[in-house]
Amino acid sequence: MQENKKYPMLQVEDVHISFGILKALNGVSLEIHKGEILAIIGPNGAGKTTLVNIINGVYRPSRGCIFFEGRDLTTMPPHHIAALGIARTFQNVALFKGMTVLDNIVVGRNLRMRSNFFSQGIYWGFSQKEEIQHREAVERVIDWLEIEHIRKTPAGMLPYGLQKRVELGRALAAEPKLLLLDEPMAGMNLEEKEDIARFILDANEELETTIALIEHDMGVVMDISDRVVVLDYGDKIGEGKPEEIRNNEKVIKAYLGTSAQK
């Protein structure tokens, strides 16, 4: 559930970015508060994935700033941002298809490792202890996501819905403070969507992970989000609680349509 905090966990301030003559984001500002689920919605081409790519350092804005827990992320590379506690999933599944489910989730633990190659060779005891702790954390994620039965299966052999669940597991294995989910339910059937929605809620409540998600399924957005931000062709046109967005005339005209009011 959303917590009232004086300072937001993440601040996006007046962010602009263009690709050639296309303005992908035009002065977008928003806040993400610790403990909440924030949904970012909008039609295709609205700038949603571009915004996530700016937050995690894939793109740099031409103007504006990003702050995470008071620290300026604007020019940081992605691996530094990840080390601060921001993880993400992708719109298109980005697993290592030839690796097992277990090994894919282990990859998510890399940033948590403190021992380097030298210490692994010299201080074997410390590295072995850390490796055991790593494996235990990975197994907890596997159990939590209820995928024990596929832990040794190559990721590329799994149906799409399970691949998306494994990708969620890889992100959660990093124990992020903020988790960015880019269309986590795209291409799923109703049962798969219900499963992922449950895991998102549980990650927020049980693991205390703050979540920002891009999602097109308005039923899911309205059910699980604390707040919603609406983008349209690079502009932010709405922000508020789900019920406020449902009744926002500008949002209805640009995106939701009359069916959203039913």
Question: What pLDDT digit, counting tens, does each position of 62-95 carry?
Answer: 999 999 999 999 999 999 999 999 999 988 888 9
Sheet holding 86-88, edge to edge: 86-88, 178-182, 210-214, 37-41, 227-232, 235-240
Are 214 and 181 spatial neighbours (Cβ–Cβ below 8 Å)? yes
Distances (CA, A) of 48 to 22, 163, 195, 233: 14, 22, 24, 9
Res 121 pLDDT > 90: no
State the average pLDDT for the chain: 89
Q: What angle do CA 27, 72, 43 make, to 5 degrees?
A: 35
Terminal Cα distance for the chain, rounded: 26
Over residues 196-249, the pLDDT tens digits come to 999 999 999 999 999 999 998 889 999 999 999 999 999 999 999 999 999 999
Report how far residue 155's alpha carbon sits from residue 92's, in angstroms, rounded to the nearest whole number: 14
Instruction: Give pLDDT, residue 253.
Output: 83
Q: How many C-beta neighbours within 10 Å does residue 86 have?
A: 25
- Rounded to whole angstroms, the Cα distance separating 243 from 261 reads 10
What pLDDT sits at residue 261?
44
CATH homologous superfamily, domain 1-85+176-262: P-loop containing nucleotide triphosphate hydrolases (3.40.50.300)
Please name the residue that has the structure tokens 């700016």.
54
Q: What is the largest CA-CA distance in the chain?
A: 66
> How would residue 118 be classed by pLDDT, with cut points 50, 70 and 90?
very low
CA 193 to chain centre: 16
User: At 253, is the secondary structure helix, strand, or coil?
Assistant: helix
Percent of the chain with pLDDT over 90: 74
| Spans of all domains in the chain | 1-85+176-262, 98-174
Q: What is the mean pLDDT of residues 98-127?
A: 70
Question: Residue 113 has what pLDDT?
Answer: 64
Decide: helix, strand or coil at residue 240.
Answer: strand
The answer to whether the CB of 87 falls within 8 A of the CB of 172 is yes
Report the pLDDT value the prediction gives residue 13, as an integer from 0 to 100: 98
Give CA angle at 168 (224, 199), nearest 5°.
Answer: 35
pLDDT, average across residues 145-165:
95
Q: How many CB atoms are located within 10 Å of the residue 144 CB?
A: 15
In percent, how much of the chain has pLDDT > 70?
88
89 is written with which tokens?
A: 């999933």
